Amino acid sequence: MTYQDETAQGRVLIVDDEEGMRNYLSVVLSRDGHRTEVAADGLEALQMCRQNDYDVILMDFKMPRLDGIGLLEKLNESERAPVTVVMTAYSTWESAVQAMRLGAHNYIRKPFDNEEIRSIIARSVKVSMFLNREDRDAAEQFIVGNLIGNSPNMRKVQDLIRRIGPTDSTVCIHGESGTGKELAARAIHFNSSRRDGRFVAVNCSAFTESLLESELFGHTRGAFTGAVSDKQGLFAVASGGTFFLDEVGDMSKTLQAKLLRALEERQVKPVGATDSVKIDVRLIAATNKDLIEMVRNGEFREDLYYRLNVIPLDIPPLRDRKGDMPFLVGHLIGKHSRRMGKSIKSVSRQAMDSLMVRDWPGNVRQLENSIQRAIALARAEEITLGDLEGDASSSDASDAPQTAGLPVDGIDLGEHLLAVERNYIMRALERSRGRVTRAARLLHMSVRSLRYRIQKLGLRETPEIEQPEEIASDEPVLTSDRN
C-alpha cells in the first residue's frame, strides 16, 4: 500500500542520534519519493535548517547537545518554521505535551511500523505545501483539519480521509457532539481537487424550517415578509467547492425532500423563484443522531439517507482514544495560552491523571473548555489538579470507576487502573486536608495500606499544610499535588 503521490513528495530532514534509525527511516521514506537528509543531533539539524529549506523535520526527543524540545524552541524563532514531526515513547507524555505546546504538527510513538510513518510524513508534506501558499487561513484550516491523534482508530479516520478526499463522493460523518466532525469535513475538502473552492458550512439546528430553506436555496425579492431583495443560497455560494451540512438529522421532512431533489438534479430553486439554479458542490453531511433508527421511526427519509451515506465516516469519541490525550492537551495549551497571554509550559502528573480518567461526554470540545479554564486559573507555569477542580468536567460521574466505553483498540488496563487509583487517593487527601488517617477511612483501607500505595504512586509527605486546631498536630500530613 502506498501513501504517496507526486504532489506529496517533499524534502525531509531526519534527526536522530542513532545511526541505524537514521538510515532505516531514510530508506523507508526515499522509497516514496521523498528527498531525505540526516542529522545526528539537534545542533547539527539547526545548522542544516539555516542553510536549507525542508518541508518536514522528523526528530527524536532524546538527543545529545540539543534535544527535541530545544530544537523546536529554536525552530520557532525562525521566520519560516518548518513542519515538525516528533518521535516519542508512549510513556513520555510530559514530552508529548511540551512538543505539541511548542507547535509540533504531529507525533509518532515508538515503536512504529512503516505504513504509520509513511502516512504521517505524507500528510505532513501536504501541510507544508499549504503553509507555502499565500492563503494562510486555508493552510491553518488544513492543519487543524488533520485531526490531532495517532491512536489506531484515529489513524483509520485519517487514512479514510486521505483516500476519499480526491474523490467527489458524498460523505456522511457520524459522531457524538464535540468530536470534531467539522474538522474532518475541512480535512476532506483540503485533500480534494476542490481545495481552491469555498468551504461553506451551515448547521441545520440553528434555523427554523423557513429560514433554513432560504439559507440553503436562496430567495427572491418579495418571496416572504422581510425579503426586500434577492438572496443567493449557500448551495450556490459554495458552487465549485464543498458544502458542509451539519446536524442533518434535525432537518424537517419537507426540507429533506427538497434536499434530495437538489442532490439528484444538481440544481436548486430559490424560494419564490420559477427557475432553478445549477449547482456544482461536493456535499458532506454530519450528524450526532442515529439516522438508521430515525429511518425506522419514519423521522428521516430512507432514500435521502442512502443518498447522503455514500461514504460513511465515523469519528470516535474521546473516551475511545485516551492515548491521544497528552497530545491534545499540549496542542490546546499552546493554542490558548498564547491567546490569553499566559506562559503555561506543562501539566502536573495529578492533573493529567485526572484528565485521563474522566469520561468526557462532551468530547474534545469539553476538554478544550476545561483546558481554557485551567489556563485562566493557573498561578504558575504548570497546570495543577487544583486548576482543574470545579469545572463542568469534574462531575460526580467522573469520580466513578470507568467500566464502560472500552476503546475499540483496547486499553492498557494496568496504566488505567493506576490512574484511577491515584485519582481516588488524591481526592481523599484533598477532602481530608492531607490527613492520612482520615483519607484511609474515606477509602475504607488501613493507614499502612494507604501509605504503601502513596509510596508506590510517587506521592510524598510534606509538613507545610496548615493544621486546623481540631486536628491532632501529630497526625502525618500528605499533599496530593507533588511527585
Cα(133)–Cα(177) distance, integer angstroms: 32
Q: Domain boundary at 258, 281, 314, which? A: 314
Task: Please tell me which residue, 383 or 481, carries the higher pLDDT value.
Answer: 383
CATH code of the domain in which 328 resides: 1.10.8.60
- Domain-embedded: residue 140: no
Grid coordinates 506562559 are at which residue? 343
Q: Does 82 lie in the same domain as 41?
A: yes
For the chain, the maximum distance between any two Cα atoms, rounded to a whole number of angstroms, is 88
Structural domain that includes position 79 = 11-134
pLDDT at 144: 41
Q: Does 203 lie in the same domain as 109?
A: no
Q: Does 326 lie in the same domain as 404?
A: yes
Radius of gyration of the chain, Cα coordinates, nearest whole angstrom: 26
Q: Does 338 lie in the same domain as 223?
A: no
- Domain-embedded: residue 420: no
pLDDT at 2 over 50: no
Which one-letter DSSP state was computed for residue 180?
-
Answer whether 330's CB lies under 8 Å from 101's CB.
yes
Domain tally, the chain: 4
Answer whether 448's CB lies under 8 Å from 455's CB.
no
Cα(184)–Cα(319) distance, integer angstroms: 18
Answer whether 268's CB lies under 8 Å from 243's CB.
no
> Which pLDDT tens digit goes with each residue over 167-190?
999 999 999 999 999 989 998 998
Cα(315)–Cα(452) distance, integer angstroms: 41
Residue 285 sits at φ, ψ, to 5 deg, of -105, 160
Which one-letter DSSP state was computed for residue 360?
-
Cα(55)–Cα(12) distance, integer angstroms: 6
> Which pLDDT tens digit goes with each residue over 422-435?
778 877 887 777 78
> Which pLDDT tens digit goes with each residue over 211-235?
898 889 988 887 777 777 888 889 9
> Which pLDDT tens digit goes with each residue over 150-160?
788 888 898 89
Grid coordinates 545529545 are at which residue? 64
Q: Mean pLDDT for the chain? A: 82
In percent, the amount of the chain with pLDDT more than 90 equals 37
Q: Does 301 lie in the same domain as 184?
A: yes
* Helix or strand run (H / E) with residue 467: none
pLDDT at 88: 78
Q: How confident is the model at residue 261 (pLDDT cuts 50, 70, 90)?
A: very high
Residue 445's nearest CA partner among 457, 453, 455 is 453
- Domain-embedded: residue 114: yes
Q: Does 290 lie in the same domain as 253?
A: yes
CATH code of the domain in which 87 resides: 3.40.50.2300
- Domain-embedded: residue 145: no
Residue 468 sits at φ, ψ, to 5 deg, of -60, 155
pLDDT at 335 over 70: yes
- Domain-embedded: residue 416: no
Q: Span 57-68, mean pLDDT?
A: 90
Most confident of 189-193, 231-235, 295-299, 329-333: 295-299
Q: Does 329 lie in the same domain as 303?
A: no
Q: How confident is the model at residue 464 (pLDDT cuts 50, 70, 90)?
A: very low
Cell readout for 478 is 500528605
Q: Span 336-347, mean pLDDT?
A: 87
Q: Domain boundary at 382, 411, 440, which? A: 411
Q: Domain boundary at 314, 340, 366, which? A: 314
Q: Does 44 lie in the same domain as 25?
A: yes
pLDDT at 158: 85
Cα(300)–Cα(308) distance, integer angstroms: 12
Cα(223)–Cα(233) distance, integer angstroms: 14
Q: Does 294 lie in the same domain as 280?
A: yes
3 state SS of 86 = strand
Answer whether 72's CB lies under 8 Å from 96's CB.
no
Task: Please tell me which residue, 203 or 275, carries the higher pLDDT value.
Answer: 203
Q: Does 109 lie in the same domain as 209?
A: no
Q: Does 246 lie in the same domain as 184?
A: yes
CATH code of the domain in which 279 resides: 3.40.50.300
How many DSSP H helices and E strands does the chain contain?
A: 21, 16
pLDDT at 300 over 90: yes
In percent, the amount of the chain with pLDDT more than 70 equals 83
Cβ-proximal residues to 421 (8 Å cutoff; 6+ apart), any chain: 453, 457
Cα(175)–Cα(2) distance, integer angstroms: 28
- Domain-embedded: residue 395: yes
Cα(132)–Cα(64) distance, integer angstroms: 31
CA distance to 177, 204, 369, 432, per residue, from 287 (Å): 8, 10, 22, 45
- Domain-embedded: residue 170: yes
Q: Does 128 lie in the same domain as 166?
A: no
- Domain-embedded: residue 153: no
Alpha helices in 7-86 (DSSP H): 19-30, 42-51, 68-76
Residue 128: Cβ-neighbour burial (10 angstroms; 0-12, 13-18, 19+): buried
pLDDT at 391: 55
Answer whether 363's CB lies under 8 Å from 154's CB.
no
pLDDT at 56 over 60: yes
Residue 361: Cβ-neighbour burial (10 angstroms; 0-12, 13-18, 19+): middle
pLDDT at 409: 56
Answer whether 36's CB lies under 8 Å from 15's CB.
no
